[in-house]
Amino acid sequence: MKRFSTILKYLQDQKRYVFLYFMLNLLSVLFSLVSLGMLVPFMQLLFGKEKIAETAPQVSFSAASVLNYIKYILGILIREHGATYALAAISIIIILSIFLKNFFLYLSFRVLGPLRNRVLTRLRADLYTKILELPLGFFTE
């Protein structure tokens, strides 16, 4: 843990970049879950393996309720516009979410690169300073 806290002290002046990195990673994970994780339930609803909800579910911030609400909206699309329109909408949503997942992942790597280089540069400079301050007897023994 001491080594980890030593590395973290080099990140103290880079807090906004660390926060930006974590937010971009969080968005990437979110769109990753939407992209392929919800494909199977949507297809089951679209092809009649699952019943279409008639009433809107209660909205809360749990994964199951969000999925049920999305299924309700998809059920509305199927009833009002047909299965082909709903399939096109699902395809567009999946393609868009995969694009956004990769975009946010790319941005997080773009933020991480300079951050990592700054930490390594400061770590190397501190190590070089430490080696210069050592007495000559340290190197002869």
| Angle between helices 15-37 and 39-46 in degrees, nearest 10 | 30
10-residue averages of pLDDT along the chain (141 residues):
81 89 93 77 73 68 69 81 83 88 96 93 93 86 74
Please tell me the predicted confidence (pLDDT) of residue 26. 93
Radius of gyration of the chain (CA): 25
pTM of the model: 0.74
Task: Give first-to-last CA distance, the chain, whole Å.
Answer: 31
pLDDT of res. 12 = 85
HSE toward the beta carbon, residue 29, CA cutoff 13 A: 6
Report how far Cα 39 is from the mean position of its chain's Cα atoms.
18
What pLDDT score was predicted for residue 61?
A: 65
User: In the chain, where are the structural domains located?
Assistant: 16-133
